[in-house]
Amino acid sequence: MSKRAIFDKKNVLVTGGAGFIGSHLCDELVKTCKVICLDNFFSGDERNVDHLLADPNFMFVRHDTAEPIDLEKLPELQKFKIQFQGIQEIYNLACPMSPKDFSKSKIANILANSYGVKNMLDLAHKYEAKFMQFSSSVVYGPRRGENKKIKENDLGVVDMLSERSSYDEGKRFAETIVQNYKDVYGVDTKIVRVFRTYGPRMKLDDNQMIPDFIRDALDNKDLNIFGDKNFSSSFCYVSDVLDAAIKMMESDSAGPLNIGSDVDINLTDLAQKIINIIGSKSKVVYAQEKLFMTPLCLPDITAAREALGWMPIVTLEKGLEKSIDDLRASKGLKGVKQAF
The catalytic site residues sit at: 167
Q: H helices within 10-67, ranges in order?
A: 20-29
Which residues pair with residue 60 across a beta bridge?
37
Q: What is the pLDDT of residue 1?
A: 45
Q: pLDDT class for 2, splitting at 50, 70, 90?
A: very low
90 three-class SS: strand
- pLDDT over threshold 90, residue 103: no
> pLDDT tens digit string along 268-313?
999 999 999 999 999 999 887 776 667 778 999 999 999 999 999 9
Q: pLDDT class for 336, splitting at 50, 70, 90?
A: very low
- Please say whether the beta carbons of 307 and 254 come within 8 A: no
Residue 67 per-residue DSSP state? S
35 three-class SS: strand
141 three-class SS: coil
Q: Work out the number of other CB atoms within 10 angstroms of the CB of residue 295.
A: 17
Q: Is 333 exposed, middle or buried (0-12, 13-18, 19+ CB in 10 A)?
A: exposed
- Please say whether the beta carbons of 257 and 191 come within 8 A: yes
- pLDDT over threshold 60, residue 337: no
265-266/232-233 β-pairing: antiparallel
- Please say whether the beta carbons of 85 and 5 come within 8 A: yes
What domains sit in the chain, N to C, each tagged with a CATH number?
11-199+234-262+294-313 (3.40.50.720)
Q: pLDDT class for 219, splitting at 50, 70, 90?
A: very high
> pLDDT tens digit string along 38-65?
999 988 889 999 999 999 999 999 999 9
Rounded to whole angstroms, how far apart are CA atoms 21 and 308?
A: 20
What are the phi and psi torsion angles at 265 (to 5°)? -115, 125
Residue 290 per-residue DSSP state? B
Average pLDDT over residues 102-123: 94
The radius of gyration computed from the CA coordinates of the chain, to the nearest angstrom, equals 20
Average pLDDT over residues 76-104: 90
**Which one has a higher pLDDT value, 158 or 248?**
248
Q: pLDDT class for 147, splitting at 50, 70, 90?
A: low
> pLDDT tens digit string along 287-296?
877 766 677 7
> Does the pTM of the predicted model rise above 0.75?
yes
Rounded to whole angstroms, how far apart are CA atoms 207 and 265?
A: 19
CA dihedral 201, 166, 164, 130 (to 10 degrees): -50
Which residues pair with residue 236 across a beta bridge?
197
